[in-house]
Chain A
Amino acid sequence: MTRVVRASMPIFELDKVSLAYAMTSGGRARERDGRREVLHELTFSVGAGEILTICGASGTGKTSLLRILAGLTPQSGGEARFRGAAIAGPSEGIALVFQDYSNALLQWRTVARNVALGIERRAAGADVRRRVADALRLVGLENNADDYPWQLSGGMQQRVQIARALALAPSVLLMDEPFAALDAMTKASLQDELLRVRQETGASVVFITHDIEEAVYLGDRVAVLRGSPGRLAAVLDVPLAQPREQVTTREQPAFLALRHKVHDAIGRRA
Chain B
Amino acid sequence: MRRILTALLLLALAGCAQVSPWERDILAKREMQLDGAPLDAAFDDHIYFSKEASSGGRGFGGGGCGCN
> Do they bind each other?
no
